[in-house]
Structure 1
Amino acid sequence: MKIATYNVNGVNGRLPVLLRWVEEEQPDIVCLQELKAPDEKFPEKAIRDLGYDAIWHGQKSWNGVAILSRVGEIHETRRGLPGEPDDVQSRYIEAAVNGIIIGGLYLPNGNPKPGPKFDYKLRWFDRLIEHAAGLWESGLPVMLAGDFNVMPTDLDVYKPERWLDDALFAPEAKAAYFRLLDQGWTDALRARHPGEVIYTFFDYFRNAYARNAGLRIDHLLLSAPLAERLVDAQVDRHVRSWEKTSDHAPVWVELKG
């Protein structure tokens, strides 16, 4: 089974790219981020025409997350994280799909720092960690997939010295990521590529993609039952080279069974 995460950076504006990638790679389950579309503008028909069921949590102009499946019904279990009732940003959606609990997420960017956006990022991270603890303790096969907006280590960022003042590379954000991992989650991409320079995001500016000047900010975290089934994890880097593409590349894992 192949499960992917992809920050599409606008699901309607990048729809031809999304559909081309889905048709070529045939992932079984896909988590999407940055839909940048209200619920009624989600391209449901185009996605269903490719044979995928879908649920989504949209927001006009910003944010937005979705889960697609071609391997059975999607049973939504949660939209939005607990802990901040007034939070209206569409950043988390969770569902049971084909025997797996999938949490699709788009963690806040947090810039500029310091400031309210960075404070919100850290609060959101804390809420994710608390919710993830319950998922872990359930003993179920669970995956947390999405754009975490954090480069965990120097290996995950081109020229780390240039990012010292950025919210994505802040010590507090990196520490939060490792607090999450310390619950027991396996970072699938890093588990399969220890010590390797591998990026999932390339800015539109300064010819970043061609220079391989990227960031690793899109992660797939596996609970113990899924980590045992991990076969492979890769980045579909070539998709970043397509015309009118997202600044992120799709990331996927292959699981046994």
Structure 2
Amino acid sequence: MYAEPREVRATPLTVPDLMRMRVERQPIAALTAYEASTAALMDLAGVDVILIGDSLGMVVQGHRSTLPVTVEHILYHAEAVARGSQRAVRIADMPFGSCPDPQTAYRNAARLIAEGNTAMVKIEGAGVMLPVIEYLVARDIPVCGHVGLTPQSVLKTGGYKLQGRTDEAAEQVLANARAVQNAGAALMVLECVPAGLGKLVTEALSVPVIGIGAGVDCDGQILVLHDILGIATRRRPKFVRNFLDGSGSIQGAIRTYVDAVRSRQFPDSEHSY
């Protein structure tokens, strides 16, 4: 049974701190958050990165995908999270349709940074997104890339499916990751790929790689808050574990998750591909 929350220093982490953690081989613990109260609990538990994710479209708004989420939605939730979080690096998702060209992407990203009080924005995919990433980074907006399974591409891919299963597909995931890094991304989310590919991508890149269903060898892990609490109504992916079981409280569940990531006990083989 979890009793007292353990205080963690409130000194804010920065984007360069995440690179330091990679170099020192200290696993990065990340979670999504959408409001102030759980963000504050994450700071107490030592969560390093909070993503204000467009996953809110599914777990908060009840949509079947992330596609209906807007910049205004992300901004609203980013402002709320910032009121509760002092320590973690806060990252705002750039939602579907918010990056049609570099100039529009800059206007949207600048709002999420300045008004949402975040340190970084996350952009899904490579290809046409590469000039967008370059444009933002050149204008001092840190960017987190996202390759592998990209939920904003669900209409094209036909569902939320494991990526990189064949040699050719794995090579494409690795090529995308390298291209996004070369465009200037300072962090990478790698989603839903075989654990071996997760290890390969992490070793190939020089920026921290945060896995979600990408195996234990990534530089860190991220999950959706509702998933670690077992309250999501959608089908639970293989890489999700309910950390509330046996933890006694939401605070305990978050702390248990952080400890499992730090000790590289999560994800185990049961929660990897």
Comparing both structures, which one devotes a greater share of its residues to strand?
A: 1
- TM interval, shorter chain, is 0.3 to 0.5
Under a length normalisation based on structure 1, what TM-score does the superposition of the two structures give? 0.40
Under a length normalisation based on structure 2, what TM-score does the superposition of the two structures give? 0.38
